[in-house]
Amino acid sequence: MRKFQIINGPNLNLLGKREPAVYGHTSFEDYLEVLRATYPSFKIDYYQSNAEGELIDKIHETGFSYDGIILNAGAYTHTSVALRDAIQAVEAPVVEVHISNVHAREEFRRCSLISAVCKGVIAGFGLKSYELALLAL
């Protein structure tokens, strides 16, 4: 069975409640249920943390044994050299995902420190961005 790890970064535990006009009304747990039911032949693991080091630990833990990582690093996308180094250090392909179209928002969201070391980037399709990343992997 192919194994994929979804990793969500800071503030994404509030999906469904946080700025619904930008991020929608669905919690990630509800979306995950649908995603798993749609792809029963994949093992889809999920992890969320607001702490940068814990996201790095999860990348290290899964990055040598999973078939791919789907990473929404939240605001750390725009700031974290340490996350970039972690992605570069592991073997599994990492797809960078964003729910919103970061290029249509504030200027600082256009800069990603992780894109260059990811396999690809998917942004702007709401929660569907995660499914598109899964299909890409």
> Which residue numbers are catalytic?
23, 98
Among 34, 75, 111, 116, binds ligand DQA (CB under 6 A): 75
Only one of the segments 31-39, 48-56, 57-65, 99-107 lies at the binding site for ligand DQA (rule: CB under 6 A); that segment is 99-107
Alpha-carbon span 56 to 76, nearest angstrom: 11
Among 68, 72, 80, 114, binds ligand DQA (CB under 6 A): 72
Closest CA to 46 of 78, 13, 75: 13
Only one of the segments 44-52, 55-63, 82-90, 94-102 lies at the binding site for ligand DQA (rule: CB under 6 A); that segment is 94-102
What's the DSSP call for residue 129? H
Shortest separation between residue 1's beta carbon and ligand DQA, angstroms: 27
Are the CB atoms for 106 and 131 separated by under 8 Å?
no
Are the CB atoms for 90 and 42 separated by under 8 Å?
no
SS3 labels along 15-37 = CCCCCHHHHCCCCHHHHHHHHHH
Nearer to ligand DQA, 2 or 22 (CB): 22
Q: Which residues bind ligand DQA (CB under 6 A)?
A: 11, 72, 74-75, 77, 98-100, 102, 109
